[in-house]
Amino acid sequence: MDDEKILGIEGGGTKTAWALVANGAIIESGKLPPSNLRLTPPDQIAKIFRVLPRAVDRIGVFLAGCATEEDRAALLKLARTVWPKANIVAGSDRDSGMAACLRDRDGIAVNAGTGSSVTGRSGRRIENAGGWG
Give the number of other CB atoms < 10 A from CB of residue 109: 18
- The pLDDT tens digits of the residues spanning 84-130 come to 999 999 998 878 777 777 788 898 888 777 778 888 888 999 888 87
Q: Does domain 5-94 have CATH number 3.30.420.40?
A: yes
* Domain layout of the chain by residue ranges: 5-94
DSSP letter assigned to residue 55 = -
Strand partners, 119: 109, 128
- pTM of the entire predicted model: 0.85
